[in-house]
Amino acid sequence: MNSTWGARVVYQIYPRSFKDSSGDGIGDLNGITEKLDYLKDLGIGALWLSPIYCSPMHDFGYDISNYYDIDPIFGTLSDFDNLLRKAHDKDMKVLMDFVPNHTSFEHPWFKESRSSQNNHKRDWYIWKKPKKNGSAPNNWLSQFGGSAWKFDEKTEEYYLHTFDVSQPDLNWRNPHVVDEILNVMRYWLKRGVDGFRVDVAYYLYKDPFFRDEPYNPAYLPELNMQYDSLLHIYTLALPETLHMLKKFHSVINEFDDRFMVCEIYTFLQEIVNLYRIVDHQSFAPFNFSFLSLPWNAQEQKRFIDEFDEMIGDDFFPTYVLGNHDKPRIVTKLGEDAARTAALLQLTLRGIPFIYYGEELGMKNMDIPKEKMKDPMALNMKGFHFGRDPVRTPMQWDTTQYGGFSNVEPWLPIEKESAERNVASEEIDKESFLSLYKSILNLRKTRKSLTEGKYIPLECKNPHVLGFIRRGVDEETLILANFSEEIQGVELPTGDWKTILSTKLDVKNRKEQNRVNLRPFEGIVLCI
């Protein structure tokens, strides 16, 4: 396998919330550059930057008005080049977020498209005439609530927006759109970017006949998620989309040692199909099983075993505990279970993606309604969570604004920042940060954790998940207790010793033929 990427741990940075260097309460590129030593010391091998392109910020960067420049909120192209150069000097790769499904409605392309029905860029976006009664062309829904169609009074047609009304969908059936977006990729790759995370990768193509989508019989109205009321068979994961992702990857392959990861939320077989269609080690779709499956040993083992077997040794699995759209893992599972989840994520075969602050055990923060910024939360009646709670500023120290800024940040600082911050956790030998550093150090010193095969272990205890990472000349055994009670488990034959516990109070403990795991404890053993 390609050890260049297989040995790397990717760290997602939401730039608005990482470090403010300019004193405006919003994180920026120079702030990230300031913290590269912290990331290197942590054990990070690559950065994924959420969008930093020019944007009116209706959806905080996922509504792009210029793909070829940096938004002044974050800095300049010179600042970006400086960040890229210094990251590379520290042997850290840089992935950019890539948003091909839609642009901002303030993008010059859309302004031209919107100017008249006869404009040469009209077909760059998806426009349809109203029904005879003046209503939307079909029943398609927006992820942000309501119809996916917005009527334009000037040209008397509807445009499609799968997400916010400020984010019109590009028409991927137009070859000029395809050529332009592929050139955007080449522009950044030539600048030195090491690859892309492709946003909402499964939405590119829509049904050319614009048929109504059927009702979802499993829909739960009480959840107030209108989008889920339909089965999205005409707007999601069309065959053309899968093959376009392969074309994206062909651009990646025009350059040396680059990587592409795709955001898709789908079932296992579809993930495996995408691996096979693209068919290259420098590509992987995200795997969100830790977020979507019940948190018990049997469910997780069943998925991991099947996933690893289906994709084989030629491709990299990915494992994710959180991102800018999903609840933080400590809030979801509790602190002890989240520590064990981190151990699994960082020792399973594949490429782990850490969301900023996970290494501190950061939690969701309750955001008062008057301070909410997320357009999804503001648009969807009854949608109380939104995404703001997982996007609060990184907590660096115990000062008033957590070391993130010297002025009030764009979102509030988590209330527990006085204890849960980098400065405090660096001196606490049993902190989340100490745990992450310990595991990531093991990845450096034990090649079986980055190059070894995944060997399932059939534990007789249903509450314990176990596996071996088998390298050329070493084996590493990982055991995880998913229950809130002590669980015993038989060890494979061998003179095993425990070299790490998620409690961080065990080191080089010789074991007999059986070991007892404390509630929600995970351990690493070697011979």
Active-site residues, by number, are 199, 263
DSSP H helices, 393-454, are: 422-426, 432-445, 448-451
DSSP H helices, 128-267, are: 175-191, 239-252
Which residues, listed in sequence order, are joined to residue 151 by a DSSP beta bridge?
158
**Following CA atoms 414, 419, 422, 426 in sequence, which dihedral angle do they give, to the nearest 10 degrees?**
-160
CA distance 371 to 406: 19
The per-residue DSSP string of 50-100 comes to: PP-EE---TTTTSS-SEEEEE-TTT--HHHHHHHHHHHHHTT-EEEEEE--
Q: Which of 60, 47, 57, 55 is nearest to 96 (CA)?
A: 47
Cα dist from 104 to 53, 62, 166, 184, 488, whole Å = 11, 8, 6, 16, 55
CA distance 19 to 28: 6
Q: Which of 188, 184, 353 is nearest to 261 (CA)?
A: 353
How far, in whole angstroms, is CA 483 from its chain's centroid?
Answer: 27
CA distance 319 to 332: 16
Asked whether 510 and 495 are in contact (CB, 8 A), the reply is yes
